[in-house]
Amino acid sequence: MRRILAFGIAGTIGFVVDAGVLTALVEKGGINPYAGRVVSFLAAATTTWWINRRYTFAVTHPPTSSEWSRYVGLMIFGAIVNYGAYALCITFWDLARQNLWLAVALGSVSGLGINFLTSKALFLRTSERAR
C-alpha cells in the first residue's frame, strides 16, 4: 500500500511538471499542443523516474542512463493510452482544449495502472540485480 501511495504522489508531481511544461510550451513558445505533449511527457517521465527510484521503490545504487532509458521505454505503454486520451480530449472537447491541464489529467489517470505495473517490474528487477 505504501508503494501505491508513493507512486501516486510521484505521479501527482509528474502531472504538475507535465501540465506546467506543456502550458509553457503552448502559451509562451507557440508550440502545437500535440507536439508539446511529447516534450512535456519526457519531462514528467524523467521527474517520476527519479522520484520512483528513490522513494517508491527505494533503489539504492546510483542511477544510470540505461536505467532511465528502460524506464522511459516501459512508460511508453502507459504513454500511448495517456496520449490517446489527451488527444481525444483536446480534439473533441472545447473545455479541455482551453484548459490543457484537464486533458493532461484525464490522460494521466488513463495510463496510471499500466505505468505502476511496468515501474514496479523495472525497479524490483533492477534492485535484485544490484544485490
pLDDT value of residue 44: 95
Instruction: For residue 22, name the pLDDT band (cuts at 50, 70, 90).
Output: very high
**Closest CA relative to residue 13, chosen from 46, 37, 58:** 46
pLDDT value of residue 128: 56
Contacts of 81 (CB under 8 A, 6+ apart): 107, 110, 111, 114
The CA angle 106-45-66, to the nearest 5 degrees, is: 150
Which tens digits make up the pLDDT trace of 119-131? 888 777 765 565 5
What does residue 65 show for φ and ψ, rounded to 5 degrees?
-70, -30
Domain ranges of the chain: 2-130
Can you read off the three cell numbers belonging to residue 117? Answer: 505495473
pLDDT > 70? residue 32:
yes
